[in-house]
Amino acid sequence: MKHVLLALVVACSFPTGALANWAVQNSGEDVFGNVNVTATSIGDNGNVIKFECGSSSKPFFVFLLKNNEGDVPEIAAEFLHVDQDGDRHRSEATLGPWNENYVAVKVTDEKMLRNIVQHMIVATGQVSVGIAIPATDFRVADTFSSRGSTAAGRTLLKHCISE
């Protein structure tokens, strides 16, 4: 009985991979030398941020918001990020449909991609982001954990961000 309790205490004392807040999928090289990468995290408020890059598209990331109220037309949006130094950055984005459960604010601005990836690599605290829809004054902010962000950021920098 003592050994079972000790094992339970030890198992609960150490973080596991399941607790990592950034999930990275790396396809490895295909026959053409291309690599497809995604990095995803769920924020404190339940929103999702997902980076994607690959052989067939320009790198981008989306800020996903729960929405099951039907189709959403594409409209202009703004993406905001507070970096590791506390500086606020803004980028043009587009709000549009993603799937039956989410709408996406999509960002393709390479400077913003680089800023966030560099922040992920050095983050020791939360990564704060937000979106705004100027036409409606709709705004949403969320924070994403730094747990697993260093490895995710390094993978994105290596495969998705041009030098």
pLDDT, tens digit (0-9, with 9 covering 90-100), for 26-81: 887 778 777 789 999 999 999 999 999 986 678 999 999 998 777 888 999 999 99
Q: Is 32 exposed, middle or buried (0-12, 13-18, 19+ CB in 10 A)?
A: exposed
Query: For 5-34, how does the pLDDT look when each residue is reduced to its tens digit (9 = 90+)?
Result: 333 333 333 333 334 489 999 887 778 777
Q: Check if the beta carbon of residue 1 is closer than 8 Å to that of residue 119.
A: no
Closest by Cα among 68, 63, 65 to 52: 63
